[in-house]
Structure 1
């Protein structure tokens, strides 16, 4: 230890610090460890530099789904003619008022949290950025804080690609796009993940000409059958350019020009009055000054944790997007509940088990999935059988007149245990829940076939997919 560093540590140890039972940095999924712990009589500090509620409430899941609901209604109205409903004339969406209403609703919800924290005798709320000043000492708003247990739930933010000319232009990430009050005439979206496809769907459905520029393919993590079906359907709604090698971004006279090489190496240009960049995320861990601690991160900045969500420093845990195991609000809620249960409510040494982590893409068509993809089973050489059934080949599905939609089930060949389930089509995010439970309970093909399904209802498509798998066993 250098003399200078030793003196710094001595000074820090002499400074007055406030001690807590628990400190939580981040008010998204971290909230699972604030009020519940405080209600047990423990002193808790919550540190949050931004609006309370985290990404999901303020700039993610909730405002995006409120906007997408309007997009879905607009899609239904445009599609009404297929159901013999004749619509005369066009309809208008009050874009500015819509975004204002959503933002006001979100802000009101976020602002309602602080008074509750202030009134709770065991909670201290620090509306500042928190960071380590020493291995076991945090600072927030000029105050030094220590705790028996520290939980890092700082989340993540948009990662911006290094495209020449992009920096300094008024492009939007998801954060700005969700509060943008000016409806674009022509929108360019750079990116092909779930954030890009959800936002792009919203703008396209409300009448904005939308062009996607994607470095490789859309929704890469999805099961290949689902991804290919989505890509085909989505290309009917937006201009879709794949395999783009980005060369430059220019902004002049309120117009963006994105220059790229297409899949054949030819130079192409896309122009629009708005640009959304949605090419991934990176964790907020660079604000924590982890170099002053023993907490290790990986090459992308995500905090390393074990199967108890413990970091490489004693008495410090991490959860959520800053860990990067699963980038969903429902997964960090699961992690927070696990930590509360095993550290406070009913202390135990049980590891966290992610048995079936589901996901959904709220675009058009909707996607949902849980468990393994067929690609993953092939890569790991797990023997399997596939059951598949289309929406159109079901009683309820026929009424929907679907152009795209199916359920795909993956079973282990010998035990017939359900390993993965993937759905593309209407109400996919609701339909998948019976299959989440099936994976959680180690259900088999026969368990799915022995259920009684309501007729006519969409889950019959799941049953029909299971029947399709059964045919393979019997043949």
Structure 2
């Protein structure tokens, strides 16, 4: 059996516990059965945003007449070359990781699946490995709904959708979360006739005002069927046929491509956890405490596989926190999360940090809500923004922000004003001490803060 100081399963967020401790002299084993770099680099946030950015350019250009611009059309995209460029870029990044590991005498890279045979013993390609500490960062994979006829058809998940080089004429999408919406928006912008089949609401975990405004905006340019379930999938001669049921009707849809984006499931079933004392919840996510320790001594879990936060930026934070506490400070320190933000890169964009109003109401919080539209700002006037807004939720007594929600242009950038304020424990008054560049998007955040101050003073 080979013994290490550190053994990491998963090369996405898990990389934070590979190279940094190796530079301090620790012997590290990294196991990854797929491409190095994890979901984000290979089949997630990086290639998807590389696909979405040109789609956003097209979306903006499609509204050019609002600015008295006559841009000749129709727009055409070399979709095959675009996808090939994206794939080549991320593959190059992924391929550069193994040589770096090979040059490091303190890192052993195992390009194999790792499964537990007991609490701290992993079997990989016939070898048995152990370590003082084991870190599980195995992530998640697409969840497939139990729809009759789906299995065995050439449907796409996000993995295939990011590598497909042929633009479908008609794309059907099952799901109303951020993955389906982002990819569907991109395909639609490039010319696919796209239909979204959504069981309940779109982006249902967002603040209610954002959900309502997003649906209203998104449905102006996309075919969205809310309250719809897919009863059966058929495939024949390159065509998908879906039998669907809505509240008051049943109907069929046909398309030459199908994207299934109905959530994710943890990869814990690949680890043979039944050979260990590591416990999971009813959905299969690994249970951890405030130190990210599992129920087996010396075994930690981080990232998507714990079911807490499903973002690369959050697992990066977790990995960095564990490295700092365990290998720099050498103390058992709880992982204390600052406010964890997120964004949806559709058109319009959505971004948020902190609580939704729905959550505050359920908690009985004493708060006020203030909303300011993009249009009530100089830069909003320049952009002719019709639907964007900033909404902030403020504690009535402390005047601290409890949550912030943005819908509109560059929401993923604008939200950082509020991320910093909340992280630093600042108040509404701190937000209003700044001098804001005029005219710039952050002025919309300031205007929302001014409204909140007026409400608190009344």
Post-superposition CA distance 1:335-378 (Å, at most 9, x none)? 00010011101122321122300000000100110001100000
Distance 1:311 1:258 in 2: 42
TM-score (norm 1): 0.95
* Alignment RMSD (CA, Å): 0.8
Q: Which of 20, 32, 52 is matched with 2:36 structurally?
A: 52
Give yes or no for contact 1:187–1:276 (8 Å, CA) kept in 2.
Answer: yes
Distance 1:189 1:250 in 2: 14
Is residue 2:433 matched to residue 1:450? yes
Q: Which of 176, 185, 189 is matched with 1:205 structurally?
A: 189
Residue equivalent to 1:425: 408
Give yes or no for contact 1:204–1:237 (8 Å, CA) kept in 2.
Answer: no
Post-superposition CA distance 1:84-120 (Å, at most 9, x none)? 1112232210001100110011101100000000010
Residue equivalent to 1:105: 89
Residue equivalent to 1:14: none
Distance 2:312 2:449 in 1: 30
Is residue 2:72 matched to residue 1:74? no
Q: Which of 378, 397, 409 is matched with 2:392 structurally?
A: 409
Residue equivalent to 2:77: 93
- Of residues 71-80 and 107-116 in structure 1, the stretch that sits farther from structure 2 once superposed is 71-80
Q: Which of 440, 443, 447 is matched with 1:464 structurally?
A: 447
Q: Which of 246, 251, 254 is matched with 1:271 structurally?
A: 254
Residue equivalent to 2:369: 386
Residue equivalent to 1:437: 420
* SS at structure 2 position matched to 1:168: coil
After TM superposition, list the pairs within 5 Å mapping 1:313-392 onto structure 2: 313-392=296-375
How far residue 79 of structure 1 moved from its aligned partner, in angstroms, is 1.7
Residue equivalent to 1:13: none
Unpaired segments ≥5 residues, structure 1 = 1-16
Is residue 2:135 matched to residue 1:164? no
Distance 2:275 2:456 in 1: 59
Post-superposition CA distance 1:113-160 (Å, at most 9, x none)? 000000101000000001112222101121110100000000000000
Distance 1:467 1:106 in 2: 43
* SS at structure 2 position matched to 1:23: strand
Give yes or no for contact 2:120–2:134 (8 Å, CA) kept in 1.
Answer: no
Count, aligned residues: 458
Distance 2:382 2:331 in 1: 51
* SS at structure 2 position matched to 1:101: helix
* SS at structure 2 position matched to 1:334: helix
After TM superposition, list the pairs within 5 Å mapping 1:139-288 onto structure 2: 139-264=123-248, 266-288=249-271
How far residue 252 of structure 1 moved from its aligned partner, in angstroms, is 1.4
Distance 2:412 2:8 in 1: 31
Residue equivalent to 1:11: none
* SS at structure 2 position matched to 1:353: coil
Structure 1 segments (4+ residues) deviating >4 Å = none
TM-score (norm 2): 0.99
Residue equivalent to 2:100: 116
Distance 1:238 1:87 in 2: 22
* SS at structure 1 position matched to 2:432: helix
How far residue 316 of structure 1 moved from its aligned partner, in angstroms, is 0.2
Give yes or no for contact 2:178–2:203 (8 Å, CA) kept in 1.
Answer: yes
Give yes or no for contact 2:120–2:299 (8 Å, CA) kept in 1.
Answer: no
Distance 1:410 1:204 in 2: 34
Distance 2:243 2:324 in 1: 52
* SS at structure 2 position matched to 1:40: coil
Distance 2:307 2:330 in 1: 25
Post-superposition CA distance 1:183-241 (Å, at most 9, x none)? 10000000000101101110111111100001111001100101111111110121000
Give yes or no for contact 2:229–2:244 (8 Å, CA) kept in 1.
Answer: yes
Residue equivalent to 2:275: 292
How far residue 465 of structure 1 moved from its aligned partner, in angstroms, is 0.3
* SS at structure 2 position matched to 1:392: coil
Give yes or no for contact 1:148–1:315 (8 Å, CA) kept in 2.
Answer: yes
Distance 1:243 1:178 in 2: 27
